[in-house]
Amino acid sequence: MANHKSSEKRIRQIKTKKESNKYYAKTMRNALKTIRTNTNKEEATALLPKMNSMLDKLAKKNIIHKNKASNLKSSLVKHVDGLK
């Protein structure tokens, strides 16, 4: 239980940030799933720059780690290149 006004405020801020971060992380996972389940190379290639941009922004905001963003981008490029 918080005893100070500043700690009460911090708890409120953390709750708000947590909800926002969960939304962005879920949006990222849905976009990843869209690209990975896509079998059409043209569509996947068109979605790839948007996905890379999203991953970079999430890494910049510390929602995901920068190395995780890099690994995801790399694996997506390999996946899209392997499509027929």
Q: What is the pLDDT of residue 35?
A: 95
Residue 1 in this model has a pLDDT that exceeds 90:
no
Residue 15 lies in a domain: no
pLDDT digits (tens, 9 = 90+) for 15-53: 999 999 999 999 999 999 999 999 999 999 999 999 999
Please give the structure tokens belonging to residue 66: 């920068």
Please give the structure tokens belonging to residue 60: 């910049």
Helix (H) or strand (E) holding 55: helix 41-60
**pTM of the predicted model over 0.75:** yes
Provide the residue range defining the domain that includes 70.
26-35+42-84
Which amino acid is residue 62, in one-letter code?
Answer: N
**What's the rounded Cα separation, in Å, for the pair 3 and 57?**
36
Residue 67 lies in a domain: yes
pLDDT digits (tens, 9 = 90+) for 62-72: 999 999 999 99
Q: How many domains does the chain have?
A: 1
Residue 84 in this model has a pLDDT that exceeds 90:
no
